[in-house]
Amino acid sequence: MSLKTCLICGERKILSSFIGICKDCLRDNFNRAKPFLEKAHKESRKAFSLPEETPTDKEGISCPICARGCRIAEGEYGYCGLRKILKGKLLGPKIREARVSWYLDPLPTNCVADWICPGGTGCGYPKFAYRSGPEYGYYNLAVFFEACNLNCLYCQNWHFKYATFATRYKTLEEFLEAITPQVACICFFGGDPSPQAPFAIKASFEALKNKKGKILRICWETNGHFSPHLLPKVIETSLVSGGIIKFDLKALTPEIYFALTGGSLNPVLENFKKVAEYFKERPEVSLLTASTLLVPGYVEEEEVEKIAQFIAEINPQIPYRILAFSPQFYMKDLPLISKEVAYRALERAKKAGLKRVSLGNEHLLK
């Protein structure tokens, strides 16, 4: 086991050398830890020419698209790198264009929600699924948004950052042309769909209109940082179509969440609770699910238990999936998660009161 010395307590523990702080010091001594964390996040963003911190210019213009709360000064970009203030106007992708790519993924696919979704199980058949079991012969249109409003230091898809400042957008018309007759579901992920939610919402309703009378589920895989004024439309797209909104609940301790992502936890929890208000309206297919990536030294059984308790207090029937860690990006020096830790996390989630818990990516466990 590779142990490193924490920059605050001086103890040898499992931790990321890029962060340099153990989870105990993050919780108990955050004021001392915060400068180290801010420096790490700034360095990681500088490598991609992204804004090093959230713009908070008092004289700046507010961007209303997501929950990051950017106030952008003249000539500067918002945190996600998509929008810029020029001559007092907020410029960036319009509602019918996005910085995005997509591909056809055969069903059943390796999705966070494959164990509870119509494409993987046939639940909701015949209203929301083409088959009573896995939808062999059909496809998911996987739509990858090439921008994000978080800065996860262990990002599994970090290569999208190279495309954030690409000059060409894809259009709504191009998106609609990609939906073949065999497409049974659309999944928005990334990056994250929340910084480009206006396009995704518009595209969803246009696609559903074109496929009227046929099955087309709209799903979202997200960090949860949607703007509150756009979230109702996000909910509507999935609720009417049989789709699922998949929240990545990365941590429930705010200090650990900030260390790993550079963001605030509060908007995520509030948005999760808002989506959960609609959970009982469509019992045949779960509208909402959550997942957590186990991160050695930071997000293990104790943190999973807190997340599970949060979910169970809202509704114990909300499905929850625990995912095994793969060392990536600026946290490549962390080890794989052990089977013992993963199975203890699984049991703690169940004991917290959740009725539907699953362990994914088990092939990554050591």
Q: Which residues does the annotation place in the binding site?
A: 148, 152, 155
> What residues contact 52, with CB distance under 8 A and at least 6 apart?
41, 42, 45, 46
Give the rounded distance of the alpha carbon of 52 from its chain centre.
Answer: 20
Beta bridge partners of 289: 246
- Structure-token pair, residue 104: 């056809």
Residue 340 belongs to what H/E stretch? Answer: helix 339-351
Distance CA 286, CA 306 (A): 22
Q: Residue 191 — φ and ψ, nearest 5°?
A: 35, -140
225 touches 149 (CB < 8 A): yes
Within 10 angstroms of residue 340's Cβ, the number of other Cβ atoms is 11
| Residues flagged as binding site for [4Fe-4S] cluster | 148, 152, 155
* Helix (H) / strand (E) containing 171: strand 170-171
Q: Identify the three-state secondary structure at position 90.
A: strand
Dihedral angle, C-alpha 325, 326, 329, 333, nearest 10 °: 90
Do β-strands 217-222 and 183-190 pair in parallel, antiparallel, or remain unpaired? parallel
For Cα atoms 244, 360, 44, give the angle at the middle one, nearest 5 degrees.
85
Q: What's the start-to-end Cα distance of the chain, in Å? A: 12
Phi, psi angles (nearest 5°) of residue 126: -95, 0
